Structures are given as structure tokens and as C-alpha cells.
Structure 1
Amino acid sequence: MKILYLTYIDFGDFQSGSSVRPQMMYEAFLSLGCEVKLLQAQQNQREHRRHAVEEINQWLDHNRPDFCYVESPSGPIFHGFDRKLIRRVHQMGIPVGYFYRDAAFRFDEVFISGKKSLKQHVIAWISEWDVRFLKKNTNLIYLPTESMAVYFDFPRVAFLPPACMGSRSNKLEKPQGMRSIYVGGVSKRYGTDTLLKAFDILNGEGETFPLTLVCRPQGAAYLGAYLDKPWLNMVHASGAKELAPLYEQADLALYPIEKNAYNDFAFSVKLMEYLEYGLPMVAVNCTETEKFVQKYDLGLVCENDPSDFAVKVSEILNNTELYARCAQNAAQAVHGNLWVDRAKTVIADLGGGQGEKQA
């Protein structure tokens, strides 16, 4: 199977979810024995990107892949030469599948406070242009969740939620402790207020509930006075090598993200990373997150409220039978949720004769 694989990142940086998925899918295609012609280059490095696209165009002069799979950029497609490449592939009759990862431009109430800037207007306009372009020049649009589909009218869609690399740890193999971990952004939208207030409640009731909070250095300013709390351990770490020992030390994973229309359909790669380490979870009841946790019985979901979050953390850590069941389910849930499973889905969809050019 020969695949043309278009991405909008430079491989090697695993500091964000948007960089994890393209690289994991690439490795999965290779592991399945596919021949992969890869385009990698960031949009903001215009000349580097232009040269990379031109090299792909020259390759297409003498090669015909079985299909083309595209991992979208974090925002809109900025350069005309990128659109021309996708259009050319589609016009050649090569099935094009495009993973459309984000829709932030349609949720001003979540991402924009105050008056919308000129730059934000331009990004929204280009993003809507992308939608129209993709309707005409792709055969299949992949979305991360079913809930996201209601915001678009693409003619043909399928769903590719994030995946994991496999089981790295099993919490049943060590004595259960009381340490929780959160890895991710720090802000109101990420649920930091809910998280910190919940642990203030937990640690004010006579028990000790340690929290390891892993964030980027700039996140420290948001934590403010909480930095002096004896139960909080703030760590700056990223990448599998740095995060592995922190996950190994943890007993419970947390996902406190604020419940809103956008987060209801979003699904974080971080949840799958938690799964790899066999961690039971407590998460706010955003729609797709709640579906995931309940489908595999991985832990407890709570309201977008510090008190309820605290109750659920205490409940799962103090109930050994509940904890053991969720830990066992987490260890088993990796099966069927691997990156190679997602790659097999794409190959079946686009390489199995189902992606013929539509009239």
C-alpha cells in the first residue's frame, strides 16, 4: 500500500496533542508495512513549507499513491500552494481523506473575550473557506468525535478519536496510594480553578490528597497562592521520557476541563495517555469524555463543580473495590484503541476502493 501523507508539523516535537497524532499515525502506517511518502513542514516557515510541497508535486509526476491522508493544521490552511496540492491529488482520482481536528473558530464565546480582533476575523474567514474547499476536494472527512459532526455538513464523514501506543503500566501491580496527577494546560478553560478548589476542599477534611500538576513554566503564574500548598507538587515536564516516572508514581488521573459546547465534542489525547499507564480517572462530564469513561468503566465523572469533583476523587481513592475495577478496565481498554487500529481504519476506508472520486 502506497500512501501520500500530508502533515503541517515538523516531526520530533511531542509537546502538544496536535503534534502527537500526526507522528503516531505515521509510525502506525509504517508498522503495517505501508510505503509512506511524507510531507512535514510548519506553515509559519513559508519557504521551507513551499519547497516541501514542491518536492511532493515532483514526486507525483512519477508516482501514484493508493490514497492520500491529510492531518490538518491547528488552524486553517494558510498557503495557496497547499490547497493546489490537495486539489491536484483529488483531480488525479486519488482518494483523499482529511482529518479535520478543530472547530474553535465557530466558538467565539469560548475562546474570545471582548471584541474580536482583525486577526481573529481573518482566521475565521479562512477557516470557513477551508470548509468549502474540503467539501469539493476530499472524499472523506475524519472527525475526532461524533458530537463534532453536528457543526458541519461535510458530505461524507467518519470518526477517528485519539488512540494510544499500548499498555505501559498496570496499577494493580503496585499498592494503591492517594496521589493524583493532572497533565495539561493551566487556565479557567482547562478547569484549573475547579481542580485547585477541589483539592483545597479534600485536604481541609483531615486526609491528605497529594496532587502532581504538570504544566509548562508559564502556568506557574496562574496557580498563584496555591503554589505554597503542601499538597501541590507543580512539575514542568513533557514528552514520554519525562512524564513516565510521574505517571508511574500516580494512582489517579484527572481531567477537570470546563464543560461548554466546545469541550463537549472535544476529546483529548491526554485521556489516552492516562489509559496507557492504567490510571483510573475522574473527569468533568463533557459529553465525549463522559461517554469514553463510562463506556470502559474507567472511573467517575462529576459536575463542573469543585465540591462534586472533590467527592468523586475521595470516593474512588477510598473505595478499594471500585479502584481495582477501574484499574483493571483501564489496562484492558487499550485493546482496540491503538494507533495501529486507527491506521487500519484509514487503510480500509481509503485503500479498499471506497474512496473513488465522486462526481
Structure 2
Amino acid sequence: MAKKIKLLMFVPYSIHPMNAAPAIRAYKLYHALKKIVDVTLISRPSYNFMPNYSKIGYLNFLLSLFGQMSSEIIQLIKKNKIDYVYIEAFGAPLHSFDYVFLNALKKRDIPIFPFIMDTYWKYPEIFKRNAQSDKYCQMEYGWYLKNATALLFPSETMANTVNFPEKFALPPAGDPSRCLNQKLPDNKNITYMGEISPAMGIDILMKSIEIVIKKQPDAQFTIVGHENKELMVKCKNKNYITFMINKTYKDIPNILSDTYATIIPRQVNPYNDFAMPVKLLDYMSSGRPVITTNCHETARFIQENNCGIITEDNPNSIAKGILKLLENRDLAEIYGKNAFLAIKNKHSWKHRAEELVKIMEKY
């Protein structure tokens, strides 16, 4: 791949701190792209990192920053120093000044490749609607449908839900350098990372835990995510459950190094069927076997890489999957090794960056 390619990467939110999947994805992909193309990153600053600004001051800062940024981008466009544009879409609402330079790019016929990370507004039966958020998302979505060269999605299943002539899957990836120890620890610790809410299957998991403990009393469960006081109160006397609250991306390798197996207990529905959780690749990067419910894309990925157990989305089935790994260390070790090698050999951020460049070079 030629280093002469000049890529503009637009991330309409802050990539620091890396406390959510979109920021992790953008940060990792940017640094992988830097090694193979000439990439210019445009990313919005975080209000949390600017404590001296009021909200009005922050808005004024953004407007001032946009004036400088817009001038520099226009100069790049005029000098033909942008070959392609990659956009991490829907991580935050676009502002009117974002559309100014996007329209300028389109006017110059520069190929534009938005990554459509979400289409949640299409599933009102699953997600609570927010009229203002829906308005912004649909406006942005409409712009991409009209102006994009090709659309990128986390999975083929998600791409198939969108009527657009040019579309590709660009799943999340992993980082094998984050594996601190490929050897499974001498414990029975099962780790869940993510949102501690029913939407992510935490209720199903809690019921599964009780079934497992009856048969494996020395099993331990670690739940990593944002605080859920109600659940923590319910579990305060359950010494086999540990909550790790508000941990950062930097903490994850240490947590997973002390983990025997990992779990994704999501409920099966049309939305979760096309999802590809970034945490799945983090689990695999650490060389840990994965227990997941049979959401289509996640289950397919696990099966293709022979790195875990697929269950139904109910407590008994999930408990059965957990027990199978707890009772068969050899199998757990095989799955963990396969997980790590899958990331190292074909699913690292380096591989994803190369895939993205190959897609863009088609146009």
C-alpha cells in the first residue's frame, strides 16, 4: 500500500479518554493508519478536559477552533492534499460547521467513506426514542446516503439492513500487545465487561451466576462497568461477585490477565444480531476464551475462530456454557490460544487499517 495516500480522518467526538467503544476504535484505527498512509486527524476536544470553560465558553472555543480548522482543511482541499475521507459517524451529533467542510470535500469530488457504527433509531421496540437525537442522526444519515462514496459497517449483517449500492464490512479489531499473560490463571474467575444494564444481558447473567455457584462454589465473577447501585446493593452479601467500577481502558489488560474466561450475555434480537462488540476483540486479544449468547455476528465470529462457546440467551444455557469451561481447562486453554492467534494473525488494528485502505483504493 502506497504511503503517498493522503487520508483525512474525521472523528466528531473526543478520542480521549478512551472510556467507550467508539473512542477506542477511532484511536486504535488512527494509530494503525499512521503507519501505512499520510493521515490527518480531525477530532473534537473533550469538555471534560477543559474545566476552565463554561458550556458557553466551550461552544465559543469550538467555533473558534472550527474557524482555524476549516481554514486549514480548505487549504488542503485547494492544494489537492486529500485523496480520501474516512468518517467515524454517529459517535456525536454533527454541527452546522461540520457540514460546511463536508460539503466542500464533496464539491471537490473527494471520495468519502463513513463508518456507520449504529442505526439504533430504526429499532424503537428495543431502544427508547429521543426526538432530538433521532433528528440529528437521521439528518447525518441522510447526508451520507446522498453523498458517500461507500458505506462501512461493523458487520455484513448490519450492512444488509441498509439500501446502498456500495457497502463493506469493517469490523472492530484487537491488539495482541495488550495480552499480559497468555497462560490462563489458576482460578475460576469469569469476567464481564460493559454496560451493567438489562439491555446488555446483565439480568440473565446474574441468574446464570446463581446456577453456576450451586455446582461450582469456588467460582468467582468479576463485573466491570459503570456504577449500578441497585444491583450492587442486591449483591453485597455475595462474596463470589466482585464489581470493578469506572475502570479505564488502561486497566483492562490487568483485569483480563486474572480472568479464566470471559462472557457476553446479550439477549438475542435483530439489533444485537448485527452487533460486533469491541469488547469481544479485547477479550480475544488477552487470550481468553469467550462464552457468548447466539447473537448472529458475535456467534459466527467465535465459531469461525474456534475460541469459545455459544449458548442460548437464557440463564440455564449460559450457566451450562460457563460450567463446561470451568470443568474442562484443556478446552479453555485451546479456545484462549485460538483467540489470541486470531487477533495476532488476522484481526489486529493493523489488519483493519490495511483493509480500509484496500477498500478506498477501489475508487
TM-score by length of 2: 0.89
Q: Tell me the distance in 1 between the aligned counterparts of 2:355 and 2:9.
A: 15
Amino acid of the structure 2 residue aligned with 1:328 = K
Name the counterpart of 1:213: 223
Q: Deviations over 1:137-174 (max 9, x none)?
A: 21111111111123221221111110112243376535
Give aligned pairs, total: 344
More displaced stretch, 225-234 vs 180-189 = 225-234
Tell me by how many angstroms 1:176 deviates.
4.4
The RMSD of aligned alpha carbons is 2.0
- Corresponding residue number in structure 2 for 1:66: 83
Q: What's the counterpart of residue 34 of structure 2?
A: 30
Output aligned runs, 1:1-359, within 5 Å.
Answer: 1-32=5-36, 34-41=37-44, 46-63=59-76, 64-77=81-94, 79-112=95-128, 120-169=130-179, 173-174=183-184, 176-205=186-215, 207-217=217-227, 219-334=228-343, 335-350=345-360, 352=361, 354-355=362-363
CA contact (8 A) 2:184 2:259 kept: no
The gaps in structure 1 that reach 5 residues or longer are: none
Q: CA deviation at 1:53?
A: 3.5
Distance 2:245 2:35 in 1: 32
Shift of 1:31: 2.1
Deviations along 1:201-220, one digit per CA (max 9) or x if unpaired, are 11123532100111212x23
The one-letter code of the counterpart of 2:308 is G
Tell me the amino acid that sits aligned with residue 28 of structure 1: A
- Secondary structure in 1 aligned to 2:346? coil
* CA contact 2:190–2:261 (8 Å) conserved in 1: yes
In structure 2, the CA distance between the partners of 1:190 and 1:174, relative to structure 1 (3 Å rule), is: closer
**Cα offset, 1:175, TM superposition:** 5.1
Counterpart AA for 2:71: Q
Larger CA deviation: 194-203 vs 170-179: 170-179
- Retained in 2: the 8 A contact 1:86–1:137? no
Is contact 2:191–2:263 with CA below 8 Å preserved after alignment? yes
SS at match of 1:9: coil
C-alpha distance in 2 between matches for 1:69 and 1:297: 32
Partner Cα separation in structure 1 for residue 115 and residue 175 of structure 2: 19
Q: Verify the 8 A CA contact 2:159 2:169 in the aligned structure 1.
A: no
Counterpart contact for 1:167–1:331, Cα < 8 Å: no
Give deviations 1:298-345, integer Å, cap 9, x for gaps. 110111101111111000121133212212211211121111211112
- What residue in structure 1 maps to residue 54 of structure 2? none
Deviation at 1:94, TM superposition (A): 1.3
Residue 107 (structure 1) shift: 1.0
Give 1:38's aligned amino acid: L
AA matched with 1:69 = Y
Distance in 2 between residues matched to 1:40 and 1:343, nearest whole Å? 18
Q: In the alignment, residue 97 of structure 1 is paired with which amino acid?
A: F
TM-score (norm 1): 0.90
- Long gaps (5+) in structure 2: 48-57
Say whether the 8 Å CA contact 1:145–1:267 is kept in structure 2: yes
Whether contact under 8 Å (1:202, 1:208) holds in the other structure is no
Letter in 1 for 2:43: Q
SS in 2 for 1:85: helix
Pairwise CA distance, 1:346: 1.8
